[in-house]
């Protein structure tokens, strides 16, 4: 685990050390993946997002088996919505707003059924779970401090949605000096063209934001 590994990635090889790398699973919660949650309230076809679950499960299992750190995030707000800017709650004309009661409980509120990570990808005891009020996982959270305490310099990212919370988090992480890689078959968007565009813009200009690869490459590196 202390030796260097390298992954066949785009736009070039991604070198990493397992002990200094976290697998970051972003917002794989019922609010985005199941009918009746936040994603559906915005008018999206949420069924698209389910397709990545088997690949995410396989990746999670292999990463844990290798002894790597897994970090999970959830997009949630406090019950009193004191961490939800009115601009976020009032944006657009959704069927249900953040904090309203829907079939999965209150939309994007911590502790409600919709905020639960889906059973297939549930955190193991001891794995950090970051509740975040923003799209990026570094905004108003303890994520950076937690990663620093654990000596993490590299983030391998999966989750939803590619161009919203995943891309925001990768850009925040990149500016903070982390080497980030996005697993393309372990991320999905409500808009297929946005997933494609995000992958291209991340790796363009010599990995200006980070790297991309398929999970099969990482699985073979870990095997
Ligand atoms: N709407 C959408 O595509 N995504 C979000 O609001 N949050 C996350 O991406 N997690």
pLDDT band at residue 36 using 50, 70 and 90 as cut-offs: very high
Q: Is the pLDDT of residue 196 over 70?
A: yes
The yes-or-no answer on residue 135 being catalytic is: no
Q: What is the pLDDT of residue 3?
A: 74
From 30, 72, 75, the mutation candidate for ligand 1 (largest count of ligand atoms within 8 A of CB) is: 75
Condensed to tens digits (0 to 9), the pLDDT of residues 55-85 reads: 999 999 999 999 999 999 999 999 999 999 9
Residues 169 and 26: beta-carbon distance below 8 Å: yes
Distance CA 67, CA 69 (A): 7
Residues 181 and 13: beta-carbon distance below 8 Å: no
Condensed to tens digits (0 to 9), the pLDDT of residues 156-186 reads: 999 999 999 999 999 999 999 999 999 999 9
Q: What is the pTM of this model?
A: 0.98
Q: How far is the CA of 77 from the centre of ligand 1 (A)?
A: 14
Distance CA 58, CA 37 (A): 25
Crossing angle of helices 167-175 and 192-207, rounded to 10°: 20
The finding on whether 188 has its CB within 6 A of some atom of ligand 1 is no
């Amino acid at each position: 685990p202390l030796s260097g590994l390298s992954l066949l990635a785009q736009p070039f090889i991604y070198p990493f050390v397992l002990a200094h790398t976290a697998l970051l699973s972003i917002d794989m919660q019922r609010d985005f993946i199941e009918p009746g949650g936040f994603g559906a309230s915005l008018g999206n076809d949420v069924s698209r997002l389910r397709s990545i679950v088997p690949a995410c499960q396989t990746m999670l299992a292999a990463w844990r088996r290798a002894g790597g750190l897994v970090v999970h995030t959830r997009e949630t707000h406090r019950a009193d919505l004191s961490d939800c800017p009115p601009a976020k709650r009032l944006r657009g004309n959704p069927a249900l707003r953040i904090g309203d009661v829907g079939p999965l409980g209150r939309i994007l509120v911590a502790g409600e059924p919709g905020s639960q990570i889906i059973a297939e990808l549930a955190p193991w005891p001891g794995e950090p779970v970051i509740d975040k009020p923003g799209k990026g996982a570094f905004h108003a959270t303890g994520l950076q401090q937690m990663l620093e305490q654990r000596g993490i310099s590299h983030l391998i990212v999966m989750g939803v949605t590619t161009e919203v919370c995943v891309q925001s988090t990768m850009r925040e992480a990149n500016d903070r000096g982390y080497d980030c890689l996005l697993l393309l078959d372990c991320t999905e968007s409500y808009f297929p063209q946005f997933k494609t565009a995000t992958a291209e813009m991340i790796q363009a200009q010599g990995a200006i934001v980070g790297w991309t690869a398929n999970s099969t490459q990482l699985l073979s590196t870990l095997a």
